[in-house]
Structure 1
């Protein structure tokens, strides 16, 4: 069984601005390892409760999404997870303070996971009927036998799915910021 990775209980005031331009969202959609020596920078312009914000394990931005140092440490010990995902260094600036240890998730795997016959979609561009789709209803395939932790959907590369074993890992470790 698989689950879509979705934001949950994450306040709008905690959305970061992506300050780096070395790696784009498009680069991350390619599902290829990225060489980068400098940490990616994220900044929060509004003054917020640092303690409350830093309690979230998944953080969201107008660029790539990233995870907390706590979750990065937990995931870095899982070699099977790291076959599907590359963790890129990130620093965040909150209330003028720099925080290191955060990681951007670069997903390295795609799987065919959307049942196109049961889902409701249409081409984004009329002249590309087999091109990218706009989905109104998504039904995931139930018979996926691939052994994976996290992947992008082949049919909609902006969507990220996780396996039940990763979802259970997140539940057991009280991961905050996504719907479980």
Structure 2
């Protein structure tokens, strides 16, 4: 298993701004359940101008809401063995004032236990609820094959985890914007 993270060289200027006021509640994308098109639109933009040519080289994008993928990646995943693990939600991406419709919010539909809690370092997010949500300082994954190809970690739903096969799928298809790690430090 591997944790999906932004590449080290992911430009801060490519961090998308999610339109929280006029879009589907971003927390819906952490629930690991399908989002209905009737729930509304998803809109994202940049806070400042970017080079369209350079930006369009990225396939996997991060935001202050849900993650976004290019239509190329959506097509690749849709024809893969792990397509049932995700949903692609159409979005409007405003780049330098123009709206692009060839990007999708990626909604992860599966949650699975993935962290080695004995080797990971964490503390309760709320001291009075020690068995509640946790704040992780260091994450180590379990040494096992997951049931799903790509999923949210049950221990921390903000972390996306993939099987070794899916990590290789992303690498062999030259997906730009993400990399995969077995351990995560300095969270």
TM-score with structure 1 setting the length: 0.92
CA-CA distance at 1:145 after TM superposition: 4.6
Structure 1: gaps spanning 5 or more residues = none
The answer on whether the counterparts of 1:92 and 1:100 sit within 8 Å (CA) in structure 2 is: yes
The answer on whether the counterparts of 2:146 and 2:163 sit within 8 Å (CA) in structure 1 is: no
Tell me what 2:98 maps to: 97
Tell me what 2:56 maps to: 54
The answer on whether the counterparts of 1:45 and 1:95 sit within 8 Å (CA) in structure 2 is: no
Q: Distance in 2 between matches of 1:4 and 1:40?
A: 25
The answer on whether the counterparts of 1:113 and 1:144 sit within 8 Å (CA) in structure 2 is: no
Q: Distance in 2 between matches of 1:153 and 1:86?
A: 17
The answer on whether the counterparts of 1:151 and 1:162 sit within 8 Å (CA) in structure 2 is: yes
CA-CA distance at 1:94 after TM superposition: 0.6
Tell me what 1:83 maps to: 84
Tell me what 2:29 maps to: 28
Deviates more, 1:13-22 or 1:94-103: 13-22
Give SS of 1:170's match.
helix
Deviates more, 1:124-133 or 1:17-26: 17-26
Say if 1:145 and 1:35 are closer, same or farther in 2 by CA, change over 3 A.
closer
Query: What aligned pairs does 1:117-128 form with structure 2 within 5 A after superposition?
Result: 117-128=118-129
CA-CA distance at 1:150 after TM superposition: 0.7
Give SS of 2:43's match.
strand
CA-CA distance at 1:26 after TM superposition: 1.6
Paired positions, count:
177
Tell me what 1:169 maps to: 169
Q: Distance in 2 between matches of 1:102 and 1:5?
A: 19
RMSD: 1.4
Give SS of 1:143's match.
coil
Tell me what 2:18 maps to: 18
Q: Distance in 1 between matches of 2:146 and 2:17?
A: 37
